[in-house]
């Protein structure tokens, strides 16, 4: 069974191994044991509520309970730009117009901005090679939306993700070569690592602060602004399916886009609903024990839709996935083993959301349907 839970210090070795194999692309999790340990401790303090909510770093582990090992990680930073300054370029337009000259020229322009300051960021998604596929990446990403939904008061209304921009196999970024390098005199990867290590003040000290008129940059640099790295395209697609959109900001180093969404608009959040836990006898198979079983949208015979089931605990947050056919109108039936893993008992409420993008059966019409019914007097 795969389960999402808060990251622990005992996960350090597994995390280090994953960070090492991820290579240079992932700057928020460099393969540096001390730094990773600091991050884990920060996350522990956050879940134990030993640090201010706005300073929180929530790191989730995907644990394979069979292996008793962490095989993936994802995170939420409660607020960015508090200790350090958080930089992006805003891609805007300068219009140069003169009726007398019949000139109307639009010049795309990059403005250095700190617009994401005080906003929650989803970050640090890493999945072990052995567990790629089968919706594990989706689970790691979407588990965060269930957490955000449960504990909205700890986060900003809006949440964003920085997507990795374009670079070649050698880690060379066309935008960096045309822009950043002119001011830094160092390689993209070195600068990116420095940035990941948390030393961000150098950015403020060295980056150009005046707007950059894009026509002055070479074509290959302009072409990558707002574009994602090929490896990140699936992640972008997934976030777009959740309702995230490009917000006009790009990474100051590689030009990768920032995508954002309001938490209440995120699809996982909108499609989630609550059910009461029923513990079923382990002997009876799920699909026949319960007369009120509903199948996924794919209908009889096909495999039931995978659902994320979340216990709603802050400190001991847990999510696992189950087939939709264990859900009935008011209840969800869990095996003892699953209930133990989720740390729930019979009668507890759990929140459920579809794992994959397939359209949700109308039966799971969302937990707000009751409210809607009331307001329309139905």
Partner 1 sequence: MWMVRPAKPDDLKSILALAGGMGPRLSSTLPRKDEALAARIEQSVRAFQGTTDAGESPRFLFVLEDTDTGAVRGVAGIDSRAGHGQPFYNYRKDALIHASHELGVSRRVEVLYPSHALTDHTLLCTFTIDPALQGTDAFELLSRARMMFIASHRHLFTDHTVVEIQGVQTESGEVPFWDSLGRHFFDMDFETADQHSGALSKTFIAELMPSNPIYVTLLSQDAQTALGQAHEKTRPTYELLQREGFRAGDYVDIFDAGPVLEARTDSLKTIVSSLTGTLHGSTSEEGEQCLVCGGTQMQFRCTLAPIAETLKGEVKVPVRTWHCLGLDAGDPVQVSPC
Nearer to partner 1, 173 or 321 (CB): 173
212/263 with CB nearer partner 1: 212
Q: Using alpha carbons only, what angle is made at residue 337 by residues 334 and 339, rounded to the nearest 5 degrees?
A: 50
Nearest distance in Å: CB 111, partner 1:
9
How many C-beta neighbours within 10 Å does residue 276 have? 14
- The stretch among 100-108, 152-160, 244-252, 260-268 that binds partner 1 (CB under 8 A) is 100-108
- For residue 270, how far is the Cα from the chain centroid? 16
Contact mark string toward partner 1, 200..239, x via CB under 8 A: -xx--xxxx-xxxx-xxx----------------------
Whose CA is closest to 281, among 272, 268, 290?
290
* C-alpha distance from residue 170 to each of 58, 77, 166, 235 (Å): 32, 29, 11, 22
CB-nearer residue toward partner 1: 34 or 205: 205
CB-nearer residue toward partner 1: 51 or 194:
194
Q: How many residues does the chain have?
A: 378
Helices (H) and strands (E) in the chain, counts: 13, 15
Q: Which of residues 123-162 bind partner 1 (CB under 8 A)?
A: none
The answer to whether residue 59 forms part of the interface with partner 1 (CB under 8 A) is no
Segment near partner 1 (CB under 8 A); pick from 7-15, 72-80, 99-107, 293-301: 99-107
Has 229 been annotated as catalytic? Answer: yes
Residue 93 in the binding site for partner 1 (CB under 8 A): no
Ranges assigned E (strand) in 208-290: 212-213, 245-250, 257-262, 273-279
**Binders of partner 1: how many residues, by CB under 8 A?**
27
Burial class (CB in 10 A: 0-12, 13-18, 19+), 96: exposed
> Which helix (H) or strand (E) segment is 310 a member of?
strand 306-310
Residue 222 three-state SS = helix
Q: Which of the following is catalytic: 42, 150, 229, 264?
A: 229
Contacts of partner 1 in 161-180 (CB under 8 A): 179
Q: Which two tokens stand for residue 184?
A: 């830094």
Query: Considering the complex, what minimum distance in angstroms separates the CB of residue 255 from partner 1?
Result: 15
**Residue 339 neighbours by CB distance under 10 Å:** 20
Q: Indicate which single residue of 34, 66, 93, 101 sits in contact with partner 1 (rule: CB under 8 A).
A: 101
34 contributes a contact to partner 1 by CB under 8 A: no
Point out which residues bind partner 1 (CB under 8 A).
94, 96, 98, 100-101, 103, 105, 107, 179, 182-183, 185, 194, 199, 201-202, 205-208, 210-213, 215-217
Active site residues: 229
């Amino acid at each position: 069974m795969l389960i999402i839970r808060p990251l622990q210090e005992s996960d350090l070795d597994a995390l280090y191994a994953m960070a090492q194999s991820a290579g240079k692309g992932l700057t928020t999790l460099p393969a540096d044991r001390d730094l990773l340990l600091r991050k884990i401790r920060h996350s522990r303090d956050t879940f134990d509520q030993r640090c201010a909510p706005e300073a929180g770093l929530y790191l989730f582990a995907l644990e394979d309970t069979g292996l008793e090992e962490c095989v993936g990680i994802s995170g939420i930073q409660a607020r960015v730009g508090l200790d350090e300054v958080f930089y992006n370029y805003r891609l805007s337009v300068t219009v140069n117009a003169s009726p007398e000259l019949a000139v109307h020229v639009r010049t795309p322009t990059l403005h250095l901005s700190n617009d994401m300051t005080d906003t929650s960021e989803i970050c640090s998604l890493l999945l072990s090679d052995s567990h790629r596929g089968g919706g594990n990446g989706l689970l790691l990403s979407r588990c965060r939306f269930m957490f955000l939904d449960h504990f909205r008061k700890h986060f900003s209304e809006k949440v964003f993700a920085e997507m990795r921009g374009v670079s070649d196999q050698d880690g060379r970024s066309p935008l960096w070569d045309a822009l950043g390098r002119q001011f830094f005199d160092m390689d993209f990867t070195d600068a990116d690592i420095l940035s990941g290590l948390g030393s961000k003040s150098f950015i403020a000290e060295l980056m150009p602060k005046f707007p950059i008129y894009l026509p002055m940059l070479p074509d290959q640099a302009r072409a990558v602004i707002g574009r994602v790295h090929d490896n990140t395209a699936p992640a972008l697609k997934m976030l777009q399916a959740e309702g995230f959109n490009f917000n006009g900001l790009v990474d100051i180093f590689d030009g990768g886009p920032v995508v954002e969404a309001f938490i209440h608009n995120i699809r996982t959040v909108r499609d989630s609903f609550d059910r009461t836990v029923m513990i079923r006898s382990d002997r009876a198979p799920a699909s026949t024990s319960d007369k009120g079983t509903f199948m996924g949208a794919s209908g009889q015979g096909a495999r039931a839709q995978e659902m994320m089931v979340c216990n709603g605990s802050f400190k001991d947050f847990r999510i696992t996935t189950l087939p939709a056919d264990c859900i009935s109108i008011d209840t969800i039936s869990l095996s003892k083993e699953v209930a133990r893993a989720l740390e729930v008992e019979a009668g507890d409420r759990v929140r459920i959301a579809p794992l994959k993008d397939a359209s949700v059966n109308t039966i799971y019409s969302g937990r707000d349907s009751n409210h809607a019914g009331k307001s329309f007097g139905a």
